[in-house]
Amino acid sequence: MVCLGNICRSPLAEGIMKQKIGEAGLQWEVDSAGTGHWHAGQLPDPRSIVTARQHGIDLTDQRARQFQVADFEQFDKIFVMDIQNRRDVQRLARTDEHRAKVELILDQIHPGQDHSVPDPYYDDNGFEAVFLMLDQACGAFVSTR
């Protein structure tokens, strides 16, 4: 799960996906990262923590980190939150196989439409809507496995 700073959207996506795969009895590794380094080592945004907690998910074990080229080898799928994140991550890809792993997360519910998860950082009221989008997308992905 990749967004810009790894404090709002991608931590929510990580927490939601972990919950969904746990409920499905799957043994997948899920992590999140940001394309930028500004928040490395920090907890998710307090608004993400509160929103997730309202849905029974604890994000306080997460710490922001920057996406690394090694992530292409570590993970089978790299979900990005928006078109700019996709560009930034694909710019780091060294092979076509790596590029093929990168997908907008909302393609799970809107295939091929290039929908982005809006960044709620500057909108206190946007966190719940983002949570619901990510919940639907993660649920769709898990249900197809």
Q: Which helix (H) or strand (E) holds 2?
A: strand 2-3
* Cα atoms in the 13 Å half-sphere on the side-chain side of 113: 10
Q: Which fold has domain 2-143?
A: Rossmann fold (3.40.50)
Q: Does the annotation count 119 as an active-site position?
A: yes
Residue of 45, 71, 88, 119 marked active site:
119
Q: Does the annotation count 87 as an active-site position?
A: no
Find the mean pLDDT for residues 120-135. 96
- 8 Å CB contact between 7 and 64: yes
Residue of 3, 47, 71, 86 marked active site:
3
Q: Alpha-carbon torsion 109, 45, 38, 40, what sign?
A: negative
Please report, for the chain, the start and end positions of each structural domain, with discontinuous segments joined by +.
2-143
Mark out the alpha helices in the chain (DSSP H runs).
Answer: 9-24, 46-54, 71-74, 83-92, 96-100, 127-143
User: In this model, does residue 19 exceed pLDDT 90?
Assistant: yes
Q: Two tokens at 34?
A: 């940001």
Q: pLDDT digit string (tens) for 29-39?
A: 999 999 999 99
Find the mean pLDDT for residues 55-69. 98
Q: Does the annotation count 88 as an active-site position?
A: no
User: In this model, does residue 89 exceed pLDDT 90?
Assistant: yes
Q: Determine the pLDDT at residue 145.
A: 81
Whose tokens are 């996709």? That residue is: 86
Q: What is the C-alpha separation between 139 and 58, in angstroms, rounded?
A: 18
* 73 class by beta-carbon count within 10 Å (0-12 exposed, 13-18 middle, 19+ buried): exposed
Q: What is the C-alpha separation between 51 and 26, in angstroms, rounded?
A: 24
Residue of 8, 9, 65, 138 marked active site:
9
Q: What is the C-alpha separation between 129 and 122, in angstroms, rounded?
A: 14
